[in-house]
Structures are given as C-alpha cells and as structure tokens.
Amino acid sequence: MSTIIKAKQYLLNNYATWGPVNLNYDTPEATFKYNELEYDLSDANLLKPGEILVESIHLSNDPAQKGWFKSNKDSYLPPSPLGKPAPARGVGKVLKSNNDKYKEGDFVQAHLGWTTHSIFNADEKLTSKLDLSKVSKLSQFLSVFGSTTLTAYVAAYKYSELTPKDTDRVFLVSGAAGAVGSVLVQILAKDFKPKKVLAIAGGADKVKFVESLGPNVIGIDYKSSTYEEDFAKALGDDKIDVFFDQVAGEILDHASQYLKTFGKIVQIGAISGYNDPTKSYFKNYAASILHKRLRIQGFVVIDDFKDSAKIIAHLEELFQNGTLDKSKFHETIVDATGDNFVKIPELWTGLFTGTNKGKFITTVAKGYD
C-alpha cells in the first residue's frame, strides 16, 4: 500500500482588493494559485512536535473570508501569509499525529484552508476535537454547531442586550435565509416571543423558508419590485426594537428609518459591500442615528470563542426544548471532490449571488457522510 498522499491546495497568491477576487489564473495578478504536493506517511520526520496531518472533508464558505484574503492591517485577524493555503474553516480527519491531544482517526475542526490535506500545529490554531455523538453527519459541525450558529446565538443573547420573553417587541433580520439568519430567526421567534419578526430574504422560495422558522415570522422579498411597500405592510403601525443586519447599504438605509427612538442595530455583517464598498455605505446617518438616538453594536464572533463550550451546552438545551429545530438547518453543499477541487474559488463566490440557503459548505472528500 502506498504511503504517499497527493495533496491539492489553493494558495493565496495576491491579496484581494475591495473588488471581486481575481480568478484569471493565467495572469500573475490572480488572487489564488493552484498547487499540488506530496506527503510521505512513512517519513519519520514528516511532523514536527505539536503537528497533525489532516484530511479535509468539509470546508466552510463564509463572507468573512473576503477579509481574510486581504492585507488589511486593521482587520481583527493578522493578514494571511501569501504563498500559504487560502484560509477557510473546515472539518477533517487526523491521518497522522505528533501531538498528544490528537490521535490518528480523530475528527477535528480547524482552519484547514483550501486544501485536501494539510499539516499544522494544532496547538497554534483554533483546533477542536469533535464528538460525533452530537450530530448525524459531519457537515453539521459547520451548520448546526458551526461558527455561524454561534454568531446568531451571541447576536441574540448577548449583543442585543435583550431579555428573552420580553413580549410586544418587533425584530428585523436581514439575510434571514442564510446560515446565521435562519438560526437567529428561530431563536428570536421562539425564545424571545416577540410580537413579530420581519425576515428579509431573496426570492419567494427563501421567503417561504424563513416563514417556516417560527411563529409570527413575516418574510419580505428584497428582490421584489414592491419591496418597500411590502416592508411597510408587514410592519404596519409598529416600530422596530432591534435590527439584526448582515447586509448594510440600501437595506440598512431604508430599515433604519423604522426603528424606535433609542432602538438598536446589531451589525453582524455587511455583505453588500464585500466586493464594492460603495454599496455598503450608510447614507441615512443623521436622520436615523442622530434623530432617533440609535445605537449600533458591531461584533466579531471570535471574541466569544472562549465561551463556546457554555454556548454549545445552551444550544443543546434549545434543541431539546424545541426552540431550535435541526431539520431547519438547511445546508447547501457543493461538490469539490476529485477533479472538482479546482472549482473551489468559483464555488465560494456563490456566497455573493445568493447561491445558498442556510449554511454553504464545500465537500472535498467522499465517504464520510
């Protein structure tokens, strides 16, 4: 039996700009560069102390990666080094270990990058061993118990500064059919028991999906030519207490007019501007923030990773009592196994065209789910 592993990877070749990533691989300006290498499992010196060799199985597709691909010195993470695998969270299987905390056959979640196989020091990365009894398939560690679920959790329970079961409140969620939004709508609708949750999504199918997530959820299609009229009809005479926004730009400009005085905006993301910053500008600042005395709270979920064990324990309670429904955790899984691995960058860009409903995942290895 061969002890040679042939690994595929996409390296970060040039830092991305505010525009779309450059996928013209025939030019030196391409954002990514395809590469292959070999690992010899019989080599006693293959792994340094603390290192593990991991086979990637599923990779997470997240808008935040656009920032990881950039050289922005003001980012919440250090710039990713050029010439190394493009960063991505994922789940994989340990094939070889020189780390006492992990053994061959363990399943882990870590920053694996756009790779089929990778070697890294597990003590220096956000690496965690996975308990397979918690899920019915490995991909659920990126959807049900992934960072997007943690993001929704802290947005609702921490950064909103709300107390569950404070009734007669009105919430608004943009990006409601996505991985974060669909969890957030469930938590708000079922545990906070508001008067209504307005859920903004794109297209009739996604509107129907978000309305299935809990009681008093009203879906609004932002792609509709009557969006503003539909928004006004859904809101009625009410005002919004908290707006959980993942989009910014025109969606934020419009909705901010309908918040209560002293209301709050929890800014989870700004996907409208990830490829063009001019589309995420907040133009309605004076009329909304100043006149209504609104508060805006931005956050990055990695600040709360230290509390992940406690959060997951509460999430398990929410699943048991019916607040969260695993059947509502939609996964859009795309195939990058075998020869399809070369499509990984193109598949990732689907985030910005509404390809996914729920969590967007790329599979790079067969035979695990």
pLDDT at 165 over 90: no
Model pLDDT, residue 2: 60
CB 60 within 8 A of CB 68: no
What is the mean predicted confidence (pLDDT) over 205-220?
Answer: 96
Question: How many C-beta neighbours within 10 Å does residue 175 have?
Answer: 26
3-state secondary structure of 228: helix
CB 319 within 8 A of CB 326: yes
pLDDT for 54-111, tens place per residue? Answer: 999 999 999 889 889 988 766 677 788 999 999 999 999 999 999 999 999 999 999 9
CB 251 within 8 A of CB 272: yes
Model pLDDT, residue 1: 47
CA contacts within 13 A on the Cβ side of 47: 21
Cα gap 267→243, rounded to integer Å: 8
Lowest mean pLDDT among 6-10, 70-74, 309-313, 319-323: 70-74
Residue 183: in which H helix or E strand, if any? helix 179-191
Angle, CA of 147, 341 and 111, to the nearest 5°: 30
Tokens 């050289």 — which residue? 71
What one-character DSSP code corresponds to residue 177?
T
Residue 121: in which H helix or E strand, if any? strand 117-121
Query: For residue 259, which phi and psi values (nearest 5 degrees)?
Result: -80, 155
Please return the burial class of 263, using the count of CB atoms within 10 Å of its CB with bins 0-12, 13-18 and 19+: buried
Domains and CATH numbers, the chain: 4-143+330-363 (3.90.180.10), 147-302 (3.40.50.720)
Cα gap 176→219, rounded to integer Å: 9
